[in-house]
Chain A
């Protein structure tokens, strides 16, 4: 088993006839993902590079049995695409699109509360991969290797960095979740940590965070209380001056809140090994695993069935 994405995923791509949508649909298919088609309004009934194209998600689900979608729809229309997927019966929505207005995402967030069995990952994220099984996203497949390390991160390319270091250590990944860099995302650090904690195939977790917000601090509290697996982390933005927006809408330090220093302190207080440089993420993981050996955790299980 793995988290969220396994061999039963039947995936469509919303925005499949766009350059990025098509490029990455092909890459996902090559990786082994069951890509069953795509959606572009107005192009239903056509075929592109072997992918069946539908006008709506509803049609695509009816004809292909799709349960997962990867969204590449342009930013100003992406919120609607997410809602269409949820209403159309999709259970796992992975929104790659960046630049969606925050107010749109606030609306989406409220409406998705009416779909408790739908999970949104992103937006503005690299997607999710269960190495050797399937990938739904834009990450380069070859840097991954099946294994038992779970990775969760707000950033895209920084996730690849962590993945690559784990692979080079001879370890592999169970599932890597890129949760996205926007202020409002469907799956937060704490959601992802909970999933990885409950996953039988995950032995240890790497959490990558960045300045801004308080998501990492909340996840640290969860780790302290419930996490039964070793956790290593890196927080980007130690060198960032306050008040400057560093590319991600999420990455902004304001009023001394959400600084790297604060976050690192919170993580360390939860027993997480924090890497001093991005190049040391792999070593931090090894250290976290070493540290946890010999001391069996007696943490309470979160209110879920036991492992």
Chain B
């Protein structure tokens, strides 16, 4: 789960990380009230969307006067922000953050992420901060420092001091900097984050270190431990179908095609989408009904697939392990009845209780094509999708 910058800064403040406070506004009419809280300019107006690269995309503006704050808020609110992280469709800006501008002398980059190779959290940091960090990673990887973090103890104080100096930060602020890096790691570990990023981390004129930006992603698996923060989810920033699916324990991801897929297991779901593409079709979604799919969950999965008007045919590919084929079959039958399924349907079942599942399908009045192998199923559904809809 991603958070907005203003939410991440609230968490940072709670953990003693230096951030500049500000106010979130959703309407132009709220700007005056915000300026009363922070009357001292100049200000920065920042688009609040779940994507990086906001500055270059025109989502971060400097304002010298109150009049300019109004102008910038008006320009950013409601804009469609397009950055390398939003995809070509961009993101609608529904909130902006107004915060006093900070004068700084140097920009750096710091993040905490999980390092899969070393199987432990890691700090990535660079003295060359700012907006070009992705390019730096590709063209000048040696400029990025990596510090392995002890997954039990956290970042040791000596590691934090070393990092401070390696980044070329002022010697007089070594203890403040070290505390700051340690606290970042503390936030990452205590809140079960998948990423914490500060870009840029800045050095102020007095030599102290300050978090100018804040980015926090919660790992979905750990979110159950942090219910207060789970409530901070912004549904406007997420795909409605993906959210609906998550509520029913399903994993759904929207793709660009026209063949709806219902599969159990992430690997098989990916492979099914691959097979559809290989045989000339295009998958509309990735949908993993998971290990212990109930009848209700399968029905719900069907509804979600059918709510996508691009879908012209459906492929069900189940290899039962924990999931039982008869349960899936009953779910399909129920769903088809409930929503009045009229699209071509290809079903491939194998594994636990497969005979019972086949029997249920055969006894029902459902219209479907049964396939006995994965490639056969993929070919059948590609053939069944009406011609001329291939996007």
CB neighbours of B251 from chain A (8 A): 247
Q: How many residues of B contact A (CB 8 A)?
A: 60
B378 within 8 A of A: yes
Name which of A20, A181, A246 has the most chain B CB atoms within 10 A of its CB: A246
The reply to whether B319 and A103 contact each other, CB–CB distance below 8 Å, is: no
A139 within 8 A of B: yes
B375 within 8 A of A: yes
Find the A residue at minimum CB distance from B376: A279
What per-residue 1/0 map shows which CB atoms of A248-277 lie under 8 Å from chain B?
110100010000100000000000000011
B269 within 8 A of A: yes
CB neighbours of B253 from chain A (8 A): 244-247
Rounded to whole Å, the gap between the CB of B333 and the closest CB of chain A is 21
B32 within 8 A of A: no
The reply to whether A183 and B116 contact each other, CB–CB distance below 8 Å, is: yes
Find the A residue at minimum CB distance from B138: A255
The reply to whether A213 and B275 contact each other, CB–CB distance below 8 Å, is: no
CB neighbours of B374 from chain A (8 A): 161, 277-279
The reply to whether B266 and A76 contact each other, CB–CB distance below 8 Å, is: no
Name which of B219, B268, B318 has the most chain A CB atoms within 10 A of its CB: B268
CB neighbours of A109 from chain B (8 A): 119-120, 151
Name which of A104, A159, A236 has the most chain B CB atoms within 10 A of its CB: A236
Name the interface residues of B205-262: CB closer than 8 Å to any CB of A: 219, 221-222, 224-225, 251, 253, 255-256
B271 within 8 A of A: yes
Residue in B274, B288, B351 whose CB lies within 8 Å of A143: B351
Residue in B116, B192, B276 whose CB lies within 8 Å of A213: B116
Provided the pairs A106-B121, A138-B291 are in contact, do residues A208 and B150 lie with their beta carbons within 8 angstroms?
A: no
Rounded to whole Å, the gap between the CB of A237 and the closest CB of chain B is 5
B295 within 8 A of A: no
The reply to whether A106 and B267 contact each other, CB–CB distance below 8 Å, is: no
Residue in A98, A99, A139, A183 whose CB lies within 8 Å of B321: A139
Find the B residue at minimum CB distance from A157: B265
Stretch at the interface among A29-37, A148-156, A292-300: A148-156
Provided the pairs A160-B351, A164-B350, A245-B253 are in contact, do residues A208 and B267 lie with their beta carbons within 8 angstroms?
A: yes
A211 within 8 A of B: yes
A302 within 8 A of B: no
Inter-chain CA distance A109–B291, complex, in Å, is 25
A133 within 8 A of B: no
Residue in A155, A239, A255 whose CB lies within 8 Å of B267: A155
Name which of A161, A239, A241 has the most chain B CB atoms within 10 A of its CB: A239
Residue in A156, A247, A276 whose CB lies within 8 Å of B286: A247
Provided the pairs A110-B152, A184-B119 are in contact, do residues A103 and B321 lie with their beta carbons within 8 angstroms?
A: no
What per-residue 1/0 map shows which CB atoms of B259-289 lie under 8 Å from chain A?
0000111111111111111110001001010
Inter-chain CA distance A260–B274, complex, in Å, is 10
What per-residue 1/0 map shows which CB atoms of B287-302 lie under 8 Å from chain A?
0100110000000000
The reply to whether A278 and B117 contact each other, CB–CB distance below 8 Å, is: no
Inter-chain CA distance A104–B219, complex, in Å, is 12
The reply to whether A278 and B221 contact each other, CB–CB distance below 8 Å, is: no
Provided the pairs A140-B352, A160-B321, A247-B286 are in contact, do residues A103 and B267 lie with their beta carbons within 8 angstroms?
A: no
CB neighbours of B222 from chain A (8 A): 101-104
Name the interface residues of B138-155: CB closer than 8 Å to any CB of A: 138, 150-152
A118 within 8 A of B: no
Rounded to whole Å, the gap between the CB of B50 and the closest CB of chain A is 12
CB neighbours of A277 from chain B (8 A): 274-275, 278-279, 374-375, 378
A4 within 8 A of B: no
Inter-chain CA distance A107–B149, complex, in Å, is 11
The reply to whether B273 and A247 contact each other, CB–CB distance below 8 Å, is: no
CB neighbours of B265 from chain A (8 A): 155-158, 247
Residue in A98, A100, A103, A279 whose CB lies within 8 Å of B373: A279
CB neighbours of B138 from chain A (8 A): 255
Rounded to whole Å, the gap between the CB of B26 and the closest CB of chain A is 27
B137 within 8 A of A: yes
A47 within 8 A of B: no
Rounded to whole Å, the gap between the CB of A60 and the closest CB of chain B is 23
The reply to whether A246 and B321 contact each other, CB–CB distance below 8 Å, is: no
Residue in B119, B194, B266, B277 whose CB lies within 8 Å of A248: B266
- A-B pairs with beta carbons under 8 Å apart, 26 shown: A99-B221, A101-B221, A102-B221, A107-B151, A140-B321, A153-B267, A154-B267, A155-B266, A155-B271, A156-B265, A157-B263, A157-B265, A157-B268, A157-B318, A214-B117, A236-B267, A236-B268, A238-B277, A239-B270, A246-B266, A248-B266, A255-B137, A276-B278, A277-B274, A278-B268, A279-B275
A-B complex: 3 closest residue pairs judged by Cβ atoms:
A155-B267, A279-B375, A247-B266
User: Which B residues fall within an 8 A CB radius of A?
Assistant: 85, 114, 116-117, 119-121, 134, 137-138, 150-152, 189, 192, 194, 219, 221-222, 224-225, 251, 253, 255-256, 263-279, 283, 286, 288, 291-292, 318-322, 350-352, 373-376, 378
Given contacts A110-B150, A236-B268, 4 further A-B contacts (CB under 8 A): A76-B225, A104-B222, A157-B318, A158-B265
